[in-house]
Amino acid sequence: MIWQPSLLSIQVTLLASGLILIFGLSLGIFLARVQFPGQILFSTMLNLPLVLPPSVVGYFLLIALGRGSPIKEWLGIDLLFTWQAGGIASAVVALPLMVESTRAAIASVNPELEAAARTLGSTEWEVLWRITIPVAYRGILAGFGLSVARGLGEFGATLMVAGSIPGRTQTLPLAIYDAVQMQQYGLANVMVLIMTTIAFGLLWWVRLLETQHPQSQQHLEDYPDGIDRRYREAASPL
């Protein structure tokens, strides 16, 4: 009774984590580095899943994935009431945490170090991969950990688009709800303990990352040793 929802929770969380990493990292870098008209409006829309009731987010996903949507009608992909739909719902709800953490971490990188790399002939991609992300990785990982924890516990939106089908889409949060409804409190207690342990572990890891963060990243000597020595030396006189 426990292993099936546990396995489905792992599947859903893995899919959600991949989506969060790809889209959250890309959007966070984009918002930190590019200024464009309507940026505040765009950022506000991205953060809506944090404040909207999960059932409302789930309703929007029903429209996006259901009958008449481009995904179903044009591409012929029917995702509703599958575990993949649960993964998408978890990713959408948790995505703002990753985007905001990444944006803040990228924005805090000392621009002198990046400018030094450019003067040495590095392309923008090399600057991003060899300077920006290594310096900002703690903030990025912290946002990723929070997003995974949020996605793991997603309930409302997942229920709207994936349902609660035992063995197919019933994740641990949904199984806990069903167990309580059937007054199977012993089973519910075990699953609650599993969820709490995982969430505690993720938050503890995020907290460790925060405490290990350098007090200030404005000093070049505080940057990780993995940063190319040429960039440190070139940035020093700036």
Summarize pLDDT for 44-83 with one digit per residue, the tens. Answer: 999 999 999 999 999 999 999 988 888 888 888 889 999 9
**Across the chain, where does the E strand assignment appear?**
none
Q: Tell me: pLDDT of 238 over 50.
A: no
Q: pTM of this prediction? A: 0.84
- Residue at token pair 């575990």: 83
117: part of which helix (H) or strand (E)?
helix 111-119
Q: How confident is the model at residue 107 (pLDDT cuts 50, 70, 90)?
A: very high
Instruction: Give CA 54 to chain center in angstroms.
Output: 16
- Contact criterion met (CB below 8 Å) for 101 and 50: no
Q: Tell me: pLDDT of 237 over 50.
A: no
